[in-house]
Structure 1
Amino acid sequence: MTNHIGQNIRSLRKKQNWSQEKVAKGLEISIPAYSKIETGITDINIDRLHQIAAFFNVSVVDILIDEQAGSKSQEQGMITELKAKLAKREEEYIQLQAKIIDLYEKLKKI
């Protein structure tokens, strides 16, 4: 769990184009301590989590949400939707083939 939190924090920092040094100074911690938060080595207590959220001007929930899990869920949903569309197209293709065969048989009789 700590790993995705660290990744979310890193992502917030990179979106702002800030260095680890700038964030560490803003949080009044050492650069190595901040680095350990981003890499998931250090567990974050609730007070530190609130401090980080305030620093980046986001909610604690924004930091806690596992974006990758949500992304995987979205990808799975898209895959399911695409499979359904593909199945529908295959059905249409089979129907068109049947019509072509039917027309061919009618032409043969003429």
Structure 2
Amino acid sequence: MVKIHVQLKGLRLKYGKTQQQIAVLLNCSVPAYSKLETGATDVTGTRLTQLAAIYGIHPSDIHRFGEPVDDSMQRTIAELIRQHEEDQRTVAELQRKLISFYEGRNGLN
């Protein structure tokens, strides 16, 4: 597996960005961003999400950048994404029901 810091540099170069441009978008200094690319600083989940947004990709795509993805793995990823989206819809529906129930009990309807 390719290290995340190597993948970050590869993505930046692929998109034709400088470290300074990415640092500005992340609202951090160039040395701070450079440490992410060299592996001197660990990439947090929040930072990973921010970087994915900059490149217009899903955070998991950063982990896979530069690695071959076989058909089986692609199907598994697609199924996990589908299940996650279904779970999000279920949670949203349950939240709506809970709000409706709460409003009904408190005379807010």
TM-score (norm 2): 0.56
Match of 1:51 in 2: 50
The gaps in structure 1 that reach 5 residues or longer are: 74-110
Q: Distance in 2 between matches of 1:9 and 1:66?
A: 9
Give the match for residue 26 of structure 1.
25
1:65: which partner in 2?
A: 64
Looking at structure 1, the residues matched to 8 and 66 of structure 2 have their Cα atoms a distance apart, in angstroms, of 11
**Residues 5 and 64 in structure 1, CA contact (< 8 A), matched pair in contact too:** yes
| Distance in 2 (alpha carbons) for counterparts of 1:66 and 1:49 | 13
Q: How many angstroms apart in 1 are the aligned matches of 2:7 and 2:65?
A: 8
Which one-letter code corresponds to 1:51 in the other structure? Answer: Q
CA distance in 2, matches of 1:25, 1:67: 25
Separation in 2, partners of 1:8, 1:66 = 6
Deviation above 4 Å: which 4+ runs of structure 1? none
Distance 2:57 2:4 in 1: 13
Q: Please tell me the root mean square deviation across aligned C-alpha atoms, in Å.
A: 2.2
Aligned to 1:13: 12
Once the two structures are aligned, what percentage of the paired residues are identical? 37
Aligned residues: 70
